[in-house]
Amino acid sequence: MCIFCKIIKAEIPSKKVLENSDFLAFEDINPQAPIHILIIPKVHYESFETSPSEVISKMSDFIKAVAKEIKVNENGYRLVTNIGENSGQEVKHLHFHLIAGAKLKWGNFI
């Protein structure tokens, strides 16, 4: 079982930001910016590439709700997902990084 599946099952603690029946958003334990949230589906999909379009569509609405919840929807945020080994994907469970809270640069986040 992957680490994100363990977080979903509350076997590993997390600092939850928002949750519904399908998705979970929580703070990254190694933040790369003042705000760094991980957003995951509660069903295991390895990556964006292997996820059904319906899941991605629903996840888009949830991500927008997270941005509104943490009040970055108006000032802006970066949304990133890594797909596969060459991208640097470390956890093989679909997840998006919502990064905000500073004027972000490309390359290094801040």
Model confidence over 3-52: pLDDT tens digits? 999 999 999 999 999 999 999 999 999 999 999 999 999 999 999 999 99
Residue-wise DSSP of the chain: --HHHHHHTTSS---EEEE-SSEEEEE-SS-SSSEEEEEEESS--SSGGGS-HHHHHHHHHHHHHHHHHTT-TTT--EEE---SGGGT--SSS--EEEEESS---SSS--
% of the chain with per-residue pLDDT over 90: 83
Domain that holds residue 61: 3-100
Residue 107 included in any domain: no
Q: Taking 60 as the threshold, does the pLDDT of residue 70 lie above it?
A: yes
Q: Report if residue 80 sits inside a domain.
A: yes
> For residue 94, what is the domain's CATH number?
3.30.428.10
In a domain, 24, yes or no: yes
Q: Does residue 36 have an active-site annotation?
A: no
Residue 81 resides in a domain: yes
Residue 87 counted as domain residue: yes
Given 36, 93, 95, 97, which residue is catalytic? 95
pLDDT given at position 110: 46
